[in-house]
Structure formats: structure tokens, C-alpha cells
Chain A
Amino acid sequence: AQSVSQHNHHVILSEAASLELGCNYSYGGTVNLFWYVQYPGQHLQLLLKYFSGDPLVKGIKGFEAEFIKSKFSFNLRKPSVQWSDTAEYFCAALDRGSTLGRLYFGRGTQLTVWP
């Protein structure tokens, strides 16, 4: 079965620091990849997605992610974080070979940004 790994469970940064959150998936076939974010007290919402084409995708609030097929990775980046980026971030992969398109989530990374 496919799995998604997020290696950082809790990341603490100061404002203006650069961010990179790691995500690796295990499936070798065609996948759609996502980053979701959950701000304190809010819904889980989509940050960005990759289906095909340019492996560098840009999302909301200045976030971007790069799909590297050879490394089975889809790392999330932001050049300069803000206090308002404090949230939990989830990487997810969707197996396009399945009949449903099952979404597999990583365990999440809690990002804390100090002002």
C-alpha cells in the first residue's frame, strides 16, 4: 500500500526564516500530490497541488512545492515565513491507479513561527 512520510513532526522558526518541509511518498505509479494546511481552529484547507506538468507548483500565501519524481518527494517551501503561518501542514498523495483515487496522508508537521 502507498504511504506518505513527513519527517519533521514539529518545526520552530523565527519570522523571516526560510521554510522547507519534507514529504516522501512510496508509490511508484502516477500520483497526484497535495499539501493541506490546518490553521488553529480552522478547516483543513488545500495549500497547493500537483497533477502534471511543471514540477514546481505555487500555492496560496507564497508557498511552493517541488515534485522530484526520482526522489519520490514533494517538499513544501516558503522563502520567508510569517507568524500567521503557524499551523499544521499535511502532505497527501492520491493514487491514480486505484478505482477511487484514494488519498494517503502523512502524519503532519506542526509549524510554530515566533514573531
Chain B
Amino acid sequence: SQTIHQWPATLVQPVGSPLSLECTVEGTSNPNLYWYRQAAGRGLQLLFYSVGIGQISSEVPQNLSASRPQDRQFILSSKKLLLSDSGFYLCAWSVAGYYEQYFGPGTRLTVT
């Protein structure tokens, strides 16, 4: 069966520090991968998606970037965090196509 992992689970970082959040998927090949940010009362905002290694599309211009160095690995990064980057970050995967997405446990990021 497929599983999706995210780490760390929680993170507290000062403003201006770098960020690296990692997501890995097991049990499937060539998944579509997604990064979302969830804010209370605002649903899920799609940040990045990837249909293959090295293929990243950005939905919202911002202080963040994403990379996919391996088929089942998706990384969310920032060179310098802002206070507004605080939030709950979710990684998701889907079978390529128009199917449901499966979500990881998320990372709670607090920028101080």
C-alpha cells in the first residue's frame, strides 16, 4: 500500500532563516506531487505541483520554492523565512491523471 511521509512534524524558525521540508511517498511510481498551505478558515492553497523529476510548477509567487530530486521525493524550501510563511504545510500525491489526492500528516511551521 502507498504511504506518504512528511518531516519534521513541527518546526519553529526565526525570521530570515532557511527552510527545508521534506515529503516522500512509498508504494507508487511516478506520482503527481503537491505542496499545499492550510490556513484556518481559508481551506487549502496549492503552492507547487510536480508531474515528474525536476518538473515543478508554481501556483502562487512567494518566498518559497520546491524541488523534486527523486521520483518520490518533494522538497519545499526557502532561503529566508518571513513571518507570513507561518502555517500548516501539507504534501499530497495522486496517480497521474484526474484522481483523488492523498495527504501527508503535515508540518506545522511557526516563524518567530
B binding-site residues for A, Cβ under 8 Å = 32, 34, 41-44, 46, 49, 51, 57, 90, 94, 97-106
- Chain B residues, Cβ within 8 Å of A25: none
Contact A103 B101 (CB under 8 A): yes
With A34-B100, A94-B98, A101-B98 given, is the CB distance from A107 to B46 under 8 Å?
no
- Chain B residues, Cβ within 8 Å of A102: 46, 49
Contact B98 A96 (CB under 8 A): yes
A105 within 8 A of B: yes
With A9-B41, A100-B32, A108-B41 given, is the CB distance from A46 to B102 under 8 Å?
yes
For the side of the interface on A, what is the size category? Answer: 20 to 34
Contact B101 A45 (CB under 8 A): no
Residue of A nearest to B36 (CB): A105
How many whole Å from A4's CB to the nearest CB in chain B? 8
Contact A46 B42 (CB under 8 A): no
Of A45, A46, A101, A107, most B-chain CB atoms within 10 Å: A101
A43 within 8 A of B: yes
Docked CA distance A45–B106 (Å)? 12
Residue of A nearest to B4 (CB): A43
Docked CA distance A32–B51 (Å)? 19
